[in-house]
Amino acid sequence: MDCFRTTLLNKTPQADYESQRHLRWWILIRVILFTLLFALTTFFREQGHPLILPAASVTLLFLLGLYSFSILSVLLLNRRLCSIHQYGAIQLCFDVFFIALLVYATGCSDSDFSALLILPVIAAGLLLSRLGGLFIAAVTTFSYAAILILEQLRWIPVYFSATPYTPPTSFLASSNLFAIYGLLFFLAALLSGQLAGRLRITEKRLAHTAIEFDRLSILYKQIFDDISTGIITTDQYDFITSFNQAAERITGFSRSTALGKPFSQLLPNISLQEEQGRNVCDFQKQHGEAIRIGYSFSFLNMPVQKESEEKQPLRWKVITLQDISQIERMEKQVREAEKMAAIGELSASVAHDFRNPLAAISGSAQILATEKDDLSRLDAGTFKTLIGIILKESGRMAKTITDFLQFARPATIQAEWFDFNRMVDEVLMRRRTATFALMTGTVIKEVDGRLDCWGDRQQIQTVLNQLLDNACQAAGPQQGKVVLAACERVKDNQAEVQIEIRDQGPGIPDEQREKVFIPFFSSRTDGTGLGLAIVQQIIAAHGGRVEIDANAEFACVIRLLLPLPPPTP
């Protein structure tokens, strides 16, 4: 009994509340059940059916006692004189007593109500767990044994003689009946206790899941309301289903105004017909303020009820909004600052590049000015050298200015189809003129006989000139060959022209391959650092890319990949 009491006391307040509620229901069921039983038996007796029942006055007295006890039980239940499970055990013991009294008064072993003894056992297994059910099963078994013993001793009511009562034929028959009912009581206690145990485990897990769900719901709501990004969801019919505080602040619409409205009607500037991704639009808030909104949307995997007329499934959407007006203003300021910094750096680079050529030109001019009265004193070699210095440095200054303008103010792409082979011939022919005599190296052409290229012919020429200048400078006179190769290839279903400038110079170190495209970065003392920057700028404008590579024969390979448009049908 102590172990049973310990088990009963080891309950949570929530379990006590549930047990108290179940006990109230059980008391109500007790009253209804006994009332119906006596009403039905009385009705059948009046119809002439042979039943074993006490006198009507005794039945009425029994019912009054039962009602009084039930009312008193409910009143004492609220007083909490003992633990709720101890109180439940007491109530079920009294139920066993009332049912046993009913069985004794209606025929003992021949009673039609003997099966009712199993009800308190089942109720105990559900309300008091397995141990409580076994306890009530034992009480019920002893009570039924007492009824059978009284019957064997012939201590039975006198009115049995006037009823179709059949006494037991032998003690063995009573023992057999006791064994069957006793086994039935304990089996019911075990099964109901097992069911109640599983039910309690399920309730505990369900309660834990509900708590976690509530916690996650609160966390989700807190994040949804406090996040700085506006979040809007729409159902399959484009009606707004949620609208967080950031969306209210960005759009100027209140949540009560937005919920239930068609998204396209409330926010017509935001188009959700485009592909998923980041988009930007101008937006006028409800109070008239004009802002820039960055938005994106994606589909939610929510169940839908029907498809559109085009047989496309209608889907839920989640839209995210951000006011990017301040960000764009800051980006513009950063770009302006970067532009001014680039202009400053470019000006410093140009000034530095002009200083040396101007010094050389000035020195040569001063010598010529000194001998202007009698130029015959200058030998032809010296005169030619001075004129060559002036021409070379003037060309260098002109190239610096050209690179500066090309990088600072790139021309618009005028794309067309042209014969790449013929253009290469023109570039190489021009390089053989006297102007480029000092920096022209041996260039080997490896171009397909018929190669059509798509792009701006003039700008592609500029790219080839820049790369050939670098390659010839790197190879140096009589130190190696320079190869210009080109062919058409197809990669990932995209046709493109591949152009390679290869040289046998010292190559570009791995740590400098990312830096060579940065404006003003140069490893040569006479370089402007704009050549490869201009190359990358032009190729990127054509939608292509520049790669730097090397192999066993050539220390440096500059590879240009220019995409070709798909053929027209």
Number of domains composing the chain = 4
CA distances from 469 to 203, 336, 399, 452, 503 (A): 82, 32, 11, 24, 11
Return the percentage of the chain with pLDDT > 70, whole number.
78
26 by Cβ neighbours in 10 Å (0-12 / 13-18 / 19+) ranks as buried
Q: Which two tokens stand for residue 274?
A: 């485009």
pLDDT bucket at 407, cuts 50 / 70 / 90: low
Query: Would you say residue 215 lies in a domain?
Result: no
Task: Quick: pLDDT tens for 145-158.
Answer: 998 898 888 888 88
Same structural domain, 128 and 9: yes
Same structural domain, 17 and 156: yes
279 by Cβ neighbours in 10 Å (0-12 / 13-18 / 19+) ranks as middle
Query: Would you say residue 216 lies in a domain?
Result: no
Return the percentage of the chain with pLDDT > 90, whole number.
4
pLDDT at 505 over 50: yes
Q: Which two tokens stand for residue 520?
A: 């003003």
Name 279's bridge partners: 295
Task: Quick: pLDDT tens for 230-265.
Answer: 888 888 888 888 888 888 888 888 888 888 888 888
Give me the amino acid identity at 505.
Answer: G
CA atoms within 13 A on the CB side of 520: 14
Same structural domain, 286 and 350: no
| Of the candidate ranges 45-59, 397-411, 417-431, 536-550, the one whose mean pLDDT is the lowest | 397-411
Q: How far is the C-alpha of 358 from the C-alpha of 365, rounded, in Å?
A: 10
What mean pLDDT is reported for the chain?
Answer: 78
Query: Would you say residue 223 lies in a domain?
Result: no
Name 243's bridge partners: 232
Query: Would you say residue 218 lies in a domain?
Result: no
Q: Which residues of 149-166 are buried (b: 16+ CB within 10 A; e: fewer)?
A: eebbeeebbeebeebebe
Query: Would you say residue 448 lies in a domain?
Result: yes
What local confidence, expressed as pLDDT, does residue 375 receive? 55
Query: Would you say residue 545 lies in a domain?
Result: yes
Task: Quick: pLDDT tens for 128-146.
Answer: 878 888 898 999 999 999 9
What local confidence, expressed as pLDDT, does residue 403 receive? 65
Query: Would you say residue 311 lies in a domain?
Result: yes
Q: How far is the C-alpha of 138 from the C-alpha of 176, rounded, in Å?
A: 17
Nearest-5° Cα angle at 362, 361 to 365: 85
Same structural domain, 428 and 466: yes
pLDDT at 60 over 90: no
287 by Cβ neighbours in 10 Å (0-12 / 13-18 / 19+) ranks as exposed
Helices assigned H by DSSP within 415-456: 420-431
Q: What is the mean pLDDT of residues 324-341?
A: 77
pLDDT bucket at 271, cuts 50 / 70 / 90: confident
Question: Which residues, 6+ apart, have CB-to-CB distance to 194 below 8 Å?
Answer: 130
How many beta carbons lie within 10 A of that of residue 177, not counting itself? 16
Same structural domain, 134 and 118: yes
Same structural domain, 67 and 198: yes
Dihedral angle, C-alpha 231, 235, 239, 244, nearest 10 °: -20
CA atoms within 13 A on the CB side of 33: 16
pLDDT at 559 over 60: yes
For residue 340, what is the domain's CATH number?
1.10.287.130
Q: How far is the C-alpha of 233 from the C-alpha of 316, rounded, in Å?
A: 7
CA distances from 339 to 307, 342, 343, 344, 401 (A): 52, 5, 6, 8, 18
**What residues make up the domain containing 24?**
2-207
Name 295's bridge partners: 279, 321
Task: Quick: pLDDT tens for 170-220.
Answer: 888 888 888 998 899 899 888 888 888 888 888 888 888 888 888 888 888
Q: How far is the C-alpha of 15 from the C-alpha of 10, rounded, in Å?
A: 10
Question: Which residues, 6+ apart, have CB-to-CB distance to 158 below 8 Å?
Answer: none
Q: Are 526 and 396 in contact (CB under 8 A)?
A: yes
Same structural domain, 69 and 198: yes
Same structural domain, 97 and 66: yes
Query: Would you say residue 329 lies in a domain?
Result: no
Last residue of a domain, one of 391, 409, 427: 409
| Beta pairing class for 416-419 and 494-503 | unpaired
pLDDT at 379 over 80: no
Q: What is the mean pLDDT of residues 63-67?
A: 86
Same structural domain, 14 and 156: yes
Last residue of a domain, one of 366, 389, 409: 409
For residue 244, what is the domain's CATH number?
3.30.450.20
| Of the candidate ranges 74-78, 435-439, 467-471, the one whose mean pLDDT is the lowest | 435-439
pLDDT at 438 over 50: no
Last residue of a domain, one of 207, 240, 275: 207
Same structural domain, 451 and 316: no
CA distances from 49 to 62, 159, 521 (A): 22, 16, 116
Same structural domain, 17 and 47: yes
